[in-house]
Amino acid sequence: MSRYLGDDWVLPALTPRNTPYFTAGSIQIQFCRECGHAQHPPDDVCYACQGAKLEFRAMPGTGRVESAVVVHHAVHPALATRVPYVVAIVSVDGAPGCSVQGNVVGCAPEAVAIGQKLRAVFEEATDPATGTRLRIPQWERVPGA
Amino acid sequence: MQGRAVVVGVGESVYYKHGGSPDSEFQLACTAIRNAAADAGLELSQLDGLISYMDHRNSPLRLAAALGFDELRWSATPWAGGGNNSSAALQFADAAVCGGYANYVVAFRALAQGQFQRLGSGAGLLAGAAPEGLSWGLPYGLMTPAQECALQTKRWMHDHGVSQEALASISLACYANAQRNPRAVRHGKPLTREAYHASRWIVEPFHLYDCCMENDGAAALIVTTPERARDLRGKPVPILATAQGLGPDIGLPSFQPRWFPGMYYENVGRTIWQRAGVRPGDIDVLQLYENFTGPVLMALCEIGFCKPEEVEAFVGGGALEGPDARLPFNTSGGNIAEAYIHGLEMVIEAVRQLRGESTCQAREVELSLAVGGPGYAPGSAVLFGPAA
């Protein structure tokens, strides 16, 4: 699918800590192999036990709207034709205590409300620096939920 | 701490609209510091400490040379964020003076947003791909403090049944108070509740008037010991307590559920009350940094002035407006209507209230609190008290 804010909008610069999230085509959350703690964004140390044996795991790809706001002011000229758009904080099923940021696509911005069930979808792009195929997580409302 | 350091001078440049300053940002910084030294009755050569926050352009080394310090003995800047550290700058000055590391320490902030990037602009973020720290939000168009604070505010309003009218009351109080203050950029431009509601959305639930201005200007305060202050012209205002910090696991700007929604002010409030031995109800006048109106409401509750379910009544019905308000609040007009000098102009206003020199002077002020910017860690606060 093409990108919610346009295919020319800013892409993430890939690093070892964010590459799984932006390339796997699933919702990747970092877990501690020692104590099982889940954390986001990923870091080099487990915030629960300070261990360094961390791994990424694929989540089921569903979540819930914790907050969502409609952006009207275009901060950058490239967004002038994209406003109004919605940004949301989404708690990730399967990863206790973890929320991610994203857009809710496929509906009017004002139709997004706290508590709604969501499922992940993925925007496709190519990282210009490395040629790596990106699959950028986004969310859409679950019909009937 | 506990009155062992005092503010002995305050100074400002003219406050301009964004892009309106004929002087460079460095000239503005020098002007504010010169005015603070003159207010105190100090020679510039006597100053020996410099503290700012989120200021990478006007370094203490350049300022000490340009202003003719005999020596620079203390310089510091807090970690992270921006206006959240407006009161932390006073904590650093307090520590330097109480520790004997310097005699006359300047806390300053200079901003010329017409000459440099506006803080609320995302434009500087867009030169190429989003670096890791920004990668979680920027590709989704989530990049500005207004958007981040809106997400916090929206959920908090939802959880506690807070209405748009409560947000409006914060902005209206700032505008009403600014009409008494000739320094205020919005002096002579009163705001009505109707005009507030009619103003354009920036990001819901923030209208234009829920957001602070962007300005050019500079502000400075000078801190010393009560003993040194006795020989000076300026009326000393004691620092009773300061606080800076964050609670567990909340330093990451990533909206994690353990603390979402939250403004980082519970522990700052607790520290202030413990160190000073006073309670929120004892405060005579309050300056609370408004980056946006919603975070002000949240911080009021986290610090302990009221509960979320009480906030509508606490701020409504003009309860914050004017010198005779139930709680005189942002009496200069604050970031929304005086000037956005990253909140340091509000710390000066807290001092002015104890000197009896505010244009919106509260009665019988003994405890004057200035709280830094909510929503970004670490939070900070400084409590001033009466001269001994």
Q: How far is B117 from chain A (nearest CA, A)?
A: 13
Whether A39 maps to a domain, the answer reads no
The CATH number covering residue B306 comes to: 3.40.47.10
Q: How far is A23 from chain B (nearest CA, A)?
A: 13
Question: Mean pLDDT across the stretch A11-23?
Answer: 97
Task: Give yes or no for B101 touching A (CB within 8 A).
Answer: no
Least CB–CB distance from B121: residue in A75, A103, A138: A75
Residue B333 near residue B191 (C-beta atoms within 8 A): no
Nearest CA in chain A to B159: A114
In this predicted model, what pLDDT tens digit does every residue of A77-90 receive, in sequence order?
A: 999 999 999 999 99
pLDDT, one tens digit per residue, over B339-377 is: 999 999 999 999 999 999 999 999 999 999 999 999 988
Domain assignment present for B166: no
Of B344, B237, B326, B246, the C-alpha closest to B289 is: B344
Q: Can you tell me the distance from the alpha carbon of B143 to that of B289, in angstroms, rounded to the nearest whole number?
A: 21
Give how far Cα B175 sits from Cα of A115, B19, B79, B213, Å: 36, 21, 32, 12
Inform me whether the pLDDT recorded for B236 exceeds 50: yes
Residue A118 inside a domain? The answer is yes
Tell me what pLDDT residue B114 has: 76
Give the SS3 label for residue B241.
strand
Nearest residue of B to residue A139, measured between CA atoms = B140
Q: Tell which of A101, A114, A116, A118 to mutate to test the B interface (max B CBs under 10 Å).
A: A101
Q: The domain that contains A118 carries what CATH number?
A: 2.40.50
Is the CB of A69 less than 8 angstroms away from the CB of B141?
A: no
The confidence score (pLDDT) of residue B377 equals 87
Please check whether residue A49 lies inside any domain of the structure. Answer: no
CB atoms within 10 A of CB B277: 10
| H-helix or E-strand spanning residue B335 | helix B334-337
Complex ipTM tops 0.90: yes
Per the CB < 8 Å rule, is B136 touching A101? yes
Closest C-alpha among A69, A54, A67 to residue A100 = A67
> Does some domain include residue B340?
yes
B346, B336 contact by CB (below 8 A)? no
Residue whose C-alpha is closest to residue B379's, from B55, B136, B91, B60? B91
A50: in domain:
no
Q: Residue B232: how many CB atoms within 10 A of its CB?
A: 19
pLDDT of residue A56 exceeding 50, the answer is: yes
Q: Is residue B131 part of a domain?
A: no
Out of A11, A69, A72, name the one closest to residue B154 (CB): A69
Q: Is residue B338 within 8 Å of B350, Cβ to Cβ?
A: no
The answer to whether residue B207 sits within a structural domain is no
d(CA B192, CA B204): 19
How many contacts (CB atoms, under 8 Å) link A and B? Answer: 129
Give B247's pLDDT tier (boundaries 50, 70, 90).
Answer: confident
**How near does any CA of chain A get to the CA of B112, in Å?**
19
Give dist(CA A92, CA A20) in Å, integer.
Answer: 16
Radius of gyration (Cα) for chain A, nearest Å? 16
Using the beta-carbon criterion (under 8 Å), do A67 and B136 form an inter-chain contact?
A: no
Provide the pLDDT for residue A144.
Answer: 76
- Residue A78 CA to residue A71 CA, distance in Å, equals 14
CB contact under 8 A, B132 and A70: no
Tell me, what's the pLDDT at B264? 87
**Residue A82, in any domain of the structure:** yes
Predicted confidence (pLDDT) per residue in B159-209, tens digit: 999 999 999 999 999 999 999 999 999 999 999 999 999 999 999 999 999
Domain around B238: 6-116+212-384
In a domain, B219, yes or no: yes
pTM > 0.90: yes
Q: A128 lies in a domain?
A: yes
The residue-averaged pLDDT of B282-292 equals 98
Question: What residues of B are labeled active site?
Answer: 289, 340
A18 in a domain, yes or no?
no
Q: Is residue B318 part of a domain?
A: yes
Instruction: Examine residue A95 and state whether it is found in any structural domain, yes or no.
Output: yes
- Into how many domains does chain A fold? 1
Domain presence at residue B170: no
Q: Residue A65 is part of which domain span?
A: 60-141
Give B63-91 pLDDT, tens digit per residue.
999 999 999 999 999 987 789 999 999 99
Please name the member of B135, B144, B261 whose beta carbon is closest to the beta carbon of A18: B135
- How many distinct structural domains can be found in chain B? 1
CA-based nearest residue in chain A for residue B258: A97
Burial class (CB in 10 A: 0-12, 13-18, 19+), A52: exposed
